[in-house]
Amino acid sequence: MDDSIQNILICGIGGQGVVLAGKIISLAAFESGKDIKTSEVHGMSQRGGSVSTHIRYGKKIFSPLIPENEATAIISFDIYETARYIRLFANEKTFIISSEHGKIPQWTPKNKNDRIKNGIAVSEEDIANILRSNFKSLYLIDDKRLALDLGNIKVSNIILLGILSCLSDIKKEIWLKAIEKNIPPKTADLNIKAFLTGRNYCENLQKL
């Protein structure tokens, strides 16, 4: 990522920590002295619906919303949501950092044809293939396994943040501080481990 305007879109399902991840990234960008604007969603959409947070930072920012096709990076906690948002916001250079897992919306029609019509026929693997053939800077992560290795499935969002941090021009110390400021103190060790897991994963890939 260079030092022009950075547009980071975070997406997932309400309740997965999209707003928290947004707070951490925006505090990190703010602490490194950038102009920054973010936009988040509250209220009804948070009840298990599709949610996104926009973060933009750089020298001078006007719009808090990312223009279409101009995301620098998309972080997604659900692969179906990745698919939903790349259509609108990604271009071929966008860094895609996505969980390889996804939750099919729980209620789907009984009739098979209706299911196909409603997209239930799309599998996680189908989407993964589309991502692989379209994006060179793709980080498709088995975040569930990495999080369970650390002992808590809930930190998978922080693992993905760790990957973003390694691609960003913001210093590691600032990221760590931003995480500590936004989480309950007793979970600090776990969250920092999760962050470093993501960051190391990315650093190792870059060494190859």
Question: How near is the Cβ of 26 to other proteins at its closest, in Å?
Answer: 6
Please give the C-alpha separations between residue 26 and each of 15, 105, 131, 143, in angstroms, as whole numbers: 19, 29, 26, 22
Which of residues 90 and 202 has its CB atom nearest to other proteins in the complex?
Answer: 90
Please give the C-alpha separations between residue 115 and each of 12, 82, 103, 108, 126, in angstroms, as whole numbers: 22, 20, 15, 6, 16
Residue 99: HSE in the Cβ half-sphere, 13 Å Cα cutoff: 26
Which of residues 50 and 187 has its CB atom nearest to other proteins in the complex?
Answer: 50
Cβ-contact 174, 29 below 8 angstroms: no
Query: Which tokens belong to 186?
Result: 């007793």
Question: How near is the Cβ of 121 to other proteins at its closest, in Å?
Answer: 7
As beta bridge partners, residue 207 has none
* Residues in contact with other proteins by the rule CB under 8 A: 13-15, 26-27, 30-31, 33, 35-50, 61-70, 80-81, 83-84, 86-88, 91, 103-108, 110-112, 116-123, 126-127, 130, 133-134, 153, 181
Which of residues 186 and 201 has its CB atom nearest to other proteins in the complex?
Answer: 186
Question: How near is the Cβ of 180 to other proteins at its closest, in Å?
Answer: 11
Question: How near is the Cβ of 154 to other proteins at its closest, in Å?
Answer: 10
